[in-house]
Structure 1
Amino acid sequence: MKLQLPATALSPYVSHYWLSRNNRDTEHLVLPDGCVDVVYGVGGVTFGLAYGVATRKSFCAMTPDFHYLGICFRPGQSRHFLKFAQNHLTDSSLSITGLAGLSPESFADEIASGEAFQRLDKALLDWVARQPMESSAVDVALATIDRCIGYVSIENVASQVGVSRRQLERYFLRDVGISPKNYARIRRWQYTFGLLRSRRSMALADIAQVAGYADQSHMSRDFRYFFGQSPGSVAVDAFVQEQVASSYYAALERLHRHTTSQAYIGDLI
């Protein structure tokens, strides 16, 4: 799989692009990350699918020998490109005819040849130039939750952006696809997963404290909800570590540690 950052002007909205040519897998691991993806497939048929925010670990079916191209939007930013409430997509997918004027048929050859990233940049930049990209209270709330790695009172977040908690929840469902509380849980879980992978010798109780959980049991409940396993089993299970390390989730971590230019980053996984 290849990953690439978008053009600089698109970076507030798009996290990254990814491309898998001549796919050999029958399924792809999906982990909760708060993002919406648009995926184009080219093979015996061509198609476009929008995948909503995932709230639990799941596996997406793939077809061997197909080419797949994906756009991963930053949390809450798919609203500028997909003109419907994002909670209609949560934990599901929807067939789309195209995005920003790009139907899967219109650049199937570029996807197959691996030359699709520049075409994506141009189409999305043209779209942004034509559309009012209006900011929202959700954007400020997302930044606050991210900055606190999910360890924050949603009441305080709502107060900071000048809306009631119920209003903020409605905005999040519309623009992100999940509630602010669930988004904060996902962000804290992501951070904790990273600690488990990078600090193998650290006691679970200490990891729970660093990540802002009330106690180790609280952390365990989130892990079982989002990943289906306890944090202890994740920390010691080499297969789980390898399974996650081989996914785009881990590759994206490496990508964002080396974002000194907008150039193509390379084959990361």
Structure 2
Amino acid sequence: MRYVGRVPGPPLNRFVDDIYCLSGVPRHRRVLVPPMPSAHLFINLGDPVRLSVPDPAVPAAVLVDAWFTGLWTERFLLEYPARVRLVGVHFKPWGLSAFTDIPADELRDRYVPADVVWQRALARIRDRLGEIVSPAEALDLVEQELRSRLAEKPSHTLNLVAQVGTRLERSHGAIPVAALSDAAGVSGNHLAAQFKTHVGVTPKRVARIYRFARLILSVDARVPVDWAEFAHTAGYFDQAHASREFKDFTGHTPTDYLALRRRHPAQDRFPPDAGPMPAE
């Protein structure tokens, strides 16, 4: 499967990590996606994609056309078709709030059709994408759509969350929330309320996800792994704390994860393999 991605320029890069195209035959049809610091837009130009969660009581969703997901705080499973043709956007945890009026907590751990968020836009976007062959042109089109929908002047509260969230991102979740609220000149309760509005969870939960992302993205399964050192570097209290978090987020112990990655190595410079993993 081919990946072509782009980090947009200002001011989109305050709210968007990257825009990308996936096309071709996937290396793994079923992919487990742990909680990562992103919300998403998927525009599917191929056959349906299935999305499910670990709870067997929750039926799988068959996703066609396009859909948004907010920040996920639990792992989920994507099952790709035999051939993939998909255009997507990775938003920063607070990013969707700059492009929609839907409260972020209504999108947390959920997938919703794109037309629910961007009314009557789906057919126009998909028709134009369907006429495009070049991935670069597809990325241009989606970037133009995002720029047209970005508020000219984000609200004061969204600016607050983006400022604090950027500090969490750069520190990989290592800055205490009390220090963040003090630096921003607001109370901890006010900051938590604004994060719930614009992200869907508290800053403490966002910090937890950034910390886990640093842990899993820094592990190289091709060499011996010192989990105690990785846990310390990622900001965990100790190795046991990191192991519990790892099992909670991925469903695997660190040892089982290494065994999985050694059977199915992540492809270098292929972001869809960074964090997400094959589901056996």
Q: Same fold (TM over 0.5)?
A: yes
1:197 alignment partner, SS class: coil
2:209 alignment partner, SS class: helix
Q: Deviations over 1:106-165 (max 9, x none)?
A: 13344343442111122222333x632235221222122223221222122122112222
- Of 167, 177, 198 in structure 1, the residue corresponding to residue 200 of structure 2 is 177
Aligned residue for 1:167?
A: 190
Matches of 2:233 and 2:163 in 1, distance apart? 24
Tell me, yes or no, if the aligned pair for 2:47 and 2:81 is still in contact at 8 Å.
Answer: no
Give me the TM-score of the superposition, normalised by structure 1. 0.79
Residue 26 of structure 1 and its aligned partner are, at CA, apart by 4.8
Q: Deviations over 1:17-72 (max 9, x none)?
A: 12223565654442322211111123479622111112232212444446321111
Aligned residue for 2:274?
A: 250
Residue 178 of structure 1 and its aligned partner are, at CA, apart by 1.9
Q: 1:22 to 1:84 in 2, by over 3 A?
A: same
Matches of 1:172 and 1:199 in 2, distance apart? 38
How large is the Cα RMSD of the aligned pairs? 3.0
Residue identity matched to 1:60: L
Aligned residue for 1:156?
A: 179
Q: Deviations over 1:154-198 (max 9, x none)?
A: 122122112222221111111112221111111111111133227
> Aligned residues: percent identity?
20
Aligned residue for 2:9?
A: 8
Q: 1:249 to 1:155 in 2, by over 3 A?
A: farther
- Of 37, 45, 48 in structure 1, the residue corresponding to residue 40 of structure 2 is 37
Give me the TM-score of the superposition, normalised by structure 2. 0.77
- Of 126, 133, 138 in structure 2, the residue corresponding to residue 116 of structure 1 is 138
1:105 aligns with 2:126: no
2:165 alignment partner, SS class: helix
* Structure 2 unaligned blocks of 5 or more: 49-63
1:97 alignment partner, SS class: helix
Q: 1:247 to 1:139 in 2, by over 3 A?
A: closer
Tell me, yes or no, if the aligned pair for 2:42 and 2:87 is still in contact at 8 Å.
Answer: yes
Matches of 1:21 and 1:237 in 2, distance apart? 25
Tell me the number of residue pairs that the alignment of Structure 1 and Structure 2 aligns: 251
**Range that drifts further, 30-39 or 130-139:** 130-139
1:138 aligns with 2:139: no
Q: 1:209 to 1:65 in 2, by over 3 A?
A: closer
Matches of 1:51 and 1:244 in 2, distance apart? 25
Aligned residue for 1:257?
A: none
Matches of 1:32 and 1:249 in 2, distance apart? 14
Tell me, yes or no, if the aligned pair for 1:204 and 1:232 is still in contact at 8 Å.
Answer: no
1:71 aligns with 2:89: yes
